[in-house]
Amino acid sequence: MAVDNQARSTLINGGGPSFQKERIKLRLMSKSRLAIRLTMLALAILTVVGFLTFDYRDVHLLKGIMSTFANFKTIFAQPQLAHFSLSEAIYQLLVTLSLGVLTTLIGAIIALFLGIFAAENLSNKKVSNVIKGFVALIRAVPTVLWVLIFAVSAGLGSVAAVIGMSFHSISYLTKAYSESFEELDAGTIEALEGCGASWWQIVCQAVLPSSLTSLISWTFIRFEINFGVSVAMGAAAGAGGIGYDMFMDSAFYYNLHEMGVITYLILVVAMLLEFMSLKIKNKVRS
């Protein structure tokens, strides 16, 4: 009876292991949190002010929304070719796909060597910082601007598109590859060095095999990006392909039916690329 009274008293007073008193931790407003919240608030205010001060002229919001849905219905529900045949559309699509393959291949080969020297666990820290800083500067400029910059010397066309897209792909994949190499356990490298393995033996027999799945994933991600950019470069840089046909349908012919066919072809290719990447990654893992 005394034991029961003692247990009841312990529970009432909040004692015992299951009723331990916990202190409530309060997060103070730091400078970084305050800066982020003020930035978000300023962006929200600017967005509202922008919508209120737009020169809409004779455009009504409700009519614009209804017109947009009508265009989507025409594009996705009523696709139809008019200015070229299906075989020609597939050929132009293969041109765009080839542009993405070529730029990804060039970028992956060069970025593989740069990524090895940019990894801090495989290279000198100064060399790593120089390479990372250089590729970060390249990534800061959009791909379209690089294509237009090279178009000044090479002229508008596929050559400028390949150089500009490859330039940006190298910087993107160098960062991705170097971070994949840096994830390797330092003990593995030290063990191989203790066994007398050379630097190239460590890279070829330990670093690359352990990072192969990650390298394939990043390469296919960049390939999908390059395929999308190739569509845009077909119109912006005169690189040809399915992007140029889409530009002509939207800007000159205003044929939404044909744009629907092109959109479906691009979606099919994007889905096939995703399926191929999953198959290859599963095969490498097994």
Q: Among 6-15, 201-210, 236-245, 251-260, which is the least confidently predicted range?
A: 6-15
Lowest mean pLDDT among 21-25, 78-82, 205-209, 229-233: 21-25
Highest mean pLDDT range out of 105-109, 146-150, 161-165, 211-215?
105-109
C-alpha to C-alpha distance for 12 and 34, rounded to whole angstroms: 42
Q: Which of 266, 259, 272, 213 is nearest to 74 (CA)?
A: 259
Q: Are 127 and 117 in contact (CB under 8 A)?
A: yes
> Which band of pLDDT confidence, cut at 50, 70 and 90, is reported for residue 4?
low
How long a stretch of residues is the chain? 286
At 118-138, the pLDDT tens digits run: 988 888 888 889 999 999 999
The pLDDT-based confidence of 63 (bands split at 50, 70, 90) is confident
Question: Which residue segments constitute the domains of the chain, with CATH numbers given?
Answer: 84-285 (1.10.3720.10)
**Residue 87 CA to chain centroid, in angstroms?**
31
Q: Confidence class of residue 280 from pLDDT cuts 50, 70 and 90?
A: confident
For residue 195, the one-letter residue type is: C
Alpha helices in the chain (DSSP H): 2-12, 31-53, 61-77, 86-118, 125-139, 143-154, 158-182, 186-194, 199-202, 208-210, 212-236, 242-248, 256-285
Instruction: Quick: pLDDT tens for 155-170.
Output: 777 788 888 889 899 9
Average pLDDT over residues 237-253: 80
Cβ-proximal residues to 164 (8 Å cutoff; 6+ apart), any chain: 143, 144, 146, 147, 148, 149, 150, 151, 233, 237
Give the max Cα distance, the chain: 97
What phi, psi does 255 have (nearest 5°)? -105, 95
Range among 76-85, 174-183, 207-216, 247-256 rated most confident:
174-183
Q: What's residue 148's pLDDT?
A: 83
Q: State pLDDT tens for residues 266-275.
A: 899 888 888 8
**72 or 12, which is more confident:** 72
Give the tokens for residue 231: 């569509």
| pLDDT, position 28 | 63
Q: Among 81-85, 87-91, 253-257, which stretch is predicted with the lowest mean pLDDT?
A: 81-85
Cα-atom radius of gyration of the chain, to the nearest Å?
A: 28
Helices 86-118 and 125-139 cross at an angle (nearest 10°) of 150
Q: Residue 41 pLDDT more than 90?
A: yes
Q: What is the DSSP letter of 156?
A: T
Q: Across all residues in the chain, what is the average pLDDT?
A: 82
Highest mean pLDDT among 44-48, 65-69, 76-80: 44-48
Q: What is the pTM of this model?
A: 0.74
Q: Are 242 and 266 in contact (CB under 8 A)?
A: yes
Report the pLDDT value the prediction gives residue 19, as an integer from 0 to 100. Answer: 47
* Position 139, amino acid: R
Tokens of 163: 């150089």
In this structure, what token pair is assigned to residue 206? Answer: 């330990």
- 77 contacts 249 by C-beta, under 8 angstroms: no
Which of 284, 120, 285, 130 lies closest to 189, judged by CA?
120
